Structure 1
Amino acid sequence: MTFDLQYLVAFNAIVSSGSLGRAADALNVTQPALSRTIRRLEEQAGAPLFERHSKGMQLTDVGRALQPHALLLQRESEHAKEDIKAMLGLAKGTIRVGAVGSIACLVLPLAIGSACKKWPNLQVQIIEGVWDRLADALVSHEIDLALGVDIEDTDEIVAVKDCRWEDTSYVVAGRRHPLRKKAKLKLADTLQERWAILPKGTGPFEHMKKVFARENLTLPNVVVETRSVTALKSLIGRSGFLGWMPEPMYDAERKAGLIDALEIPGASDKRTLTAFRRRAGMLPGPSIKLLEELRSLTAQRL
């Protein structure tokens, strides 16, 4: 069974927009023309792909089965065109990468800076988020590389085994936090303080929980849970909250005298970080260039 790529592009546009009219506007074609295109694709598939409703277009079971393959074929075609044009000097290549907060704060900017210096025509698109957001973006082809905490491979996502490094997380506080005046500070002394941290279920929260369990302690008084790294830093540096952060995430604030680790024996822990890619398909050329810089940079950090 052979599918016309332009038909798949039309199919993906309808799935993305949820309606024939919005998809036609996005593709700059008329609704009747787009409707004819979808009928031809349904003829190729041998079954209806959409159920037409007054409120929009909904996928049939066959349409849902086709969707991931249609998206993959469109993305791979776009990557191939982009790579060829970049090699011919006709267009700029684009790096599409996602990273957890600590990597987005230090390692990723260093790698991007080095890559863009060597290949000035490169452009970069970055998303920052917790792992579930990055994994979804990687599978959906929104990004081509995801940088995060090392976990087991899945059916769709695999780690780049020769690109991994470590960082260390600490209990952190503002430079003027009252606990800094306490002699022989212990982890138990932080239990009743106000904490701000990434939400339950995220890597940093689970990492922090492991450290407290290791000391046979209950969880601290978590008052604020947020996915905003900016908000976390402000709460810790300016509003008296404690937090749990890997050192690269607060490196700039440490140098500025706003945030630093509390000197507590046993209140730190290492984690391994790595790059991830999709199991299926080729890695686009621009992302390969970034991966080369990450390998070089992280090899120096181990």
Structure 2
Amino acid sequence: MTFNLQQLHAFTTIVESGSLGRAAELLHVTQPALSRSIKRLEDQLGTPLFERHSKGMQLTAIGETLLPHATLLLREADNAREEIDAMRGLAKGTIRVGAVASIATLVLPLAVSGVLARWPNLRVQIIEGVWDRLADSLLKQEIDLALSMAVPDTDEITAIADCCWEDLSYVVAALDHPLRNKANLCLADTLGLPWCLPPRGTGPFEHLERVFAEQGLGMPEIAVETRSITVLKSLVTRAGFLSWMAAPMYDTESAAGVFDTLPIAGLVGRRTLTAFRRRRGILPSPAVRLLEQLRLLTADRDNG
């Protein structure tokens, strides 16, 4: 079966906008013309894609099945156009990447700078978040690369084996935190004190859980859970909370004397970071260029 990209675009726009009228406005066509386009697609498939209601359009089971494939086909068509433009010397495409905070703070800016120095016509879209958000964005085609703490591959997402590196995480606290006055400070001394972390199930939470378990300790009581790095840093700086952060996340705060590593002897949280992509589909050329730059940077860090 051969799909018409214009019809697929009409289909996905209706899904995104929620109604025929709003989709027609976005596509700059009349509602009758848009209805005819969808009707031709439905006739080709031999089944309705939407249930029409007074308040909008709802996907049928067949429509739900078609949606991810339509999205992928449209994205691949965009990628093909970008590849052809690149071969004609008109490379303009968009790098769509997501990263956890520690990578977004240090490695990713360096990689983006290196790519744009060579291909100034490229543009970059970056989202920051913990792994579950990045994985969801990969599957929804919102990003093409995700940079995060290493996790097991899934049926739909796989790690890029030759683009990985390590960083270190520490317990952080304000410079006037009472624990800084304690001699022979150990991890057990942090139990019973207020902690703030990203939620359970995220990489930082599970990383800290392993660190405590390795020392024969249960997790401390986490008073505040948030995905906001700004909120975490404010709680540490202004409210006396402890937290767990990779070193690149707080180098600015450390240099400014805002908060820093808590001096717990011998406590270093080492973790592996890597790049991820969808298993299916072609990696767009702008993402390939970023990946090449990341490989260079991570190789330099490993050699250093």
TM range (shorter): over 0.9
Counterpart of 2:199 in structure 1 is 199
CA shift at 1:17, angstroms? 1.3
Structure 1 residue 88: Cα displacement? 2.6
- TM-score if structure 2 supplies the norm length? 0.96
Residue 218 of structure 1, CA deviation:
2.5
1:17 maps to what in 2? 17
Say whether the 8 Å CA contact 2:91–2:122 is kept in structure 1: no
Match for residue 299 of structure 1? 299
| Residues 1:80 and 2:77 aligned together | no
* Alignment: residue pair count: 302
In 2: Cα distance, 1:60 partner to 1:116 partner: 43
Supply the distance in 1 between the matched residues of 2:295 and 2:238 (Cα, whole angstroms): 36
CA-based RMSD? 1.3
Distance across 2 between alignment mates of 1:115 and 1:90: 16
Counterparts of 1:119 and 1:245, CA distance in 2: 33
What residue is the counterpart of 2:246 in the other structure?
246
1:271 counterpart = 2:271:
yes
Matched, 1:37 2:37: yes
User: Percent of aligned pairs with the same residue?
Assistant: 65
Cα 1:200/1:84, change in 2 over 3 Å: same
Cα drift, residue 167 of structure 1: 0.7
Gaps of 5+ in 2: none
The alpha-carbon deviation at position 129 of structure 1 amounts to 0.5
2-side partners of 1:80 and 1:268: how far apart?
Answer: 45
| Structure 1 Cα separation of the partners of residues 262 and 220 of structure 2 | 15
Give yes or no for the alignment of 1:129 onto 2:152: no
SS of residue paired to 2:78:
helix
Give the partner amino acid of 1:279: R
Instruction: Return the alpha-carbon distance in structure 2 between the equivalents of residues 237 and 285 of structure 1.
Output: 42
How big is the shift at 1:91? 5.5
Match of residue 177 from structure 2: 177
Distance in 2, Cα, partners of 1:219 & 1:155: 31
Correspondences of 1:229-244 after superposition (within 5 Å): 229-244=229-244
Shift of 1:177: 1.4
Aligned to 2:62: 62
After superposition, the C-alpha distances for 1:15-54 in whole angstroms (9 at most, x for unaligned) are: 1111111111111111111000000000111111111111
Residue aligned with 1:167, SS: strand
Q: Write out per-residue CA displacement over residues 50-72 of structure 1, whole angstroms, 9 at most, x where no aligned residue.
A: 11111211111111111111000
Separation in 2, partners of 1:152, 1:216:
25
Structure 1 alignment gaps of length 5 or more: none
Q: Distance in 1 between matches of 2:229 and 2:134?
A: 15
In the TM superposition, residue 238 of structure 1 has moved relative to its aligned partner by: 2.8
Q: CA deviation at 1:278?
A: 1.0
| Corresponding residue SS for 1:66 | helix
What residue number does 2:110 align with?
A: 110
Amino acid of the residue matched to residue 223 of structure 1?
A: A
Letter in 2 for 1:83: E
Q: Deviations over 1:86-112 (max 9, x none)?
A: 443445221100001111111101111
How many angstroms apart in 2 are the aligned matches of 1:93 and 1:37?
Answer: 28
Match of 1:213 in 2: 213
8 Å contact kept, 1:2–1:44: no
Moved more, 7-16 or 170-179: 170-179
